[in-house]
Amino acid sequence: MNLSPITISLLLTLLSPSLLSISGVSVEDESHPTVCIIGSGIGGSSVAHFLRNYSTSTALSRSRILMFERHERVGGRMRTVTVSGDTFEAGGSILHPKNYHARDFVERFNLTVRLPSAIEESSAVGIWDGKRFVFKTFGASVKIPFVDKIVSWMNDVYLFVRYGFSLLRMSSFVENTVDNFLKYYESLETRPVFDSVEGMLKWSGLYNLTKVTLEEKLSEVQLSTLLVNELVTVITRINYGQSVLISGLAGAVSLAGSGGGLWSVEGGNWQMAAKLINHSDVTLHLNEEIKSVSHIGSYYELKSTKGNSFKCDVTVVSTPLDEVDIQFSPAITIPKRELQHTHATFVRGLLNPGYFGMKSVSDVPALVGTLEDPLIPFSSISILRKYSATDMTYKIFTRQAASDSLLDELFSVRTETVWIDWGAYPKYHAPEVFAPFILDDHHLYYVNTFENAASTMETSAVSGENMARLIVSRFRTTKESSSSPYLDTTRSCNSGLHSNV
């Protein structure tokens, strides 16, 4: 059969996409921009969500969003673990009542808020120095509202007797920091688009807190050494796995995360990322690890360890670059940073009261925090669920993997043990140095640089929202004609502004 040149051309046009797909090359619609996001955590999923919200009158509104996740699940460092059929948070676990993006996600997608259980919000807290409890609060043996109020009042008095007015000064410091952070929720008309972390922090009045240690800042606001060495240290060790030598802003965020009204998402916080991805019309590639990002002319070529190749107009890195091996061409330069690994160990069984010099396990506080001493082998131990007086599930934080020998010392009974190695957040050092939001002169972006200020689910969402606005404003400037109408998202702020903050 003889085919005309026109017929042959038509057949090749129809066949070429499938042939290219088989050869491992992704074919994109040239008429619409393609945005590629590396990482499916709360940062990357927030970028996708806000891109859809903010690009309605731009070419990006018709963009394809491809998301690449090297693991088999979405959520990044938000994950759960199952112990004896019960589900517990193993990664990012708590949200603050003023985490407004997270609240919006939960309400928008009809997720259920989970409040702490009675045992999780128990007032019984002990500070362990390796040999004894230097301080213990009272705990109610029964959960009765009236009794709870009395116990809470007694603990308030007890705390005040030990730490005095430093408690009030600490509370004021945390409230002022939170108030400054709330500026990131202002309307688009009054809130600039930020092209650097420094500019973002200076605008809100938080920048100076990244230049001093938490210890230095708390000394400046006249907190007592006793309070800093005990209660504050316990909080930073639990929330960031580090001492009061972390930067002041990370420390303030850590202290804010120890207050009341904390919550999580029923079934796992990772569901926020999953819902954002599903509702943002994202093409999700699970188990697809990106090994290289190359800028070629007017686009980026992403190659994965599976041998696949993807063509992208915009590339967003939303995973910490500290422990992944992505090759960039041209090469990028960012400050060296390490992640703090927190080892979370979940144990169902019964704590050994003898380890703490107690006769009964009921004498051991529901939450055991520790002082900064290298000889103390754990950061904290807390009860997650109490099935009976002799059967509970515990969560232990350590800076190194908890050995069986240590766990055998800590527990008289262990029926199930689950170990999680969690590369959770940066190792904080003051003064902090930040990688850029924009990694090249084109459209290569880095969401996770904001983590050097503070690392939480909400700060990732805030960074992701600003990133979406930044992409829209820069993409419009470079891709669309100057006659195009500008959105409010184009009001920008660079690192040179507000330098006196």
Q: Phi/psi at 497 (nearest 5 deg)?
A: -85, 155
pLDDT given for residue 21 in this prediction: 34
Residues 393 and 384: beta-carbon distance below 8 Å:
yes
Length of the chain counted residue by residue: 501
pLDDT above 90: residue 128: yes
| Mean of pLDDT values over 170-182 | 97
pLDDT given for residue 409 in this prediction: 98
Supply 170's token pair: 């600490």
Domains of the chain as residue ranges with CATH: 28-75+267-337+432-493 (3.50.50.60), 80-94+104-189+216-264+339-426 (3.90.660)
Percent of all residues in the chain with a pLDDT value above 70, rounded to a whole number = 87
pLDDT above 90: residue 375: yes
If you ran DSSP here, which 8-state letter would residue 368 be given? E
Banded model confidence at residue 368, pLDDT cuts 50, 70, 90: very high
Extended beta strands in 176-333, E state: 193-194, 264-265, 282-286, 290-296, 299-304, 309-312, 314-317, 327-329
Q: Is the four-CA dihedral 68, 69, 74, 75 of positive or negative sign?
A: negative
Residues 170 and 227: beta-carbon distance below 8 Å:
yes
pLDDT above 90: residue 70: yes
pLDDT above 50: residue 493: no
pLDDT given for residue 429 in this prediction: 94
Banded model confidence at residue 145, pLDDT cuts 50, 70, 90: low
Per the listing, tokens 């060296």 go with: 336
Banded model confidence at residue 32, pLDDT cuts 50, 70, 90: confident
In 3-state terms, what secondary structure has residue 93? coil
Give the residue ranges of DSSP H helices in 24-165: 42-54, 100-108, 145-163
Banded model confidence at residue 422, pLDDT cuts 50, 70, 90: confident
Neighbouring C-alpha atoms within 13 Å toward the C-beta of 140: 19
Bridge pairing between strands 391-398 and 380-388: antiparallel
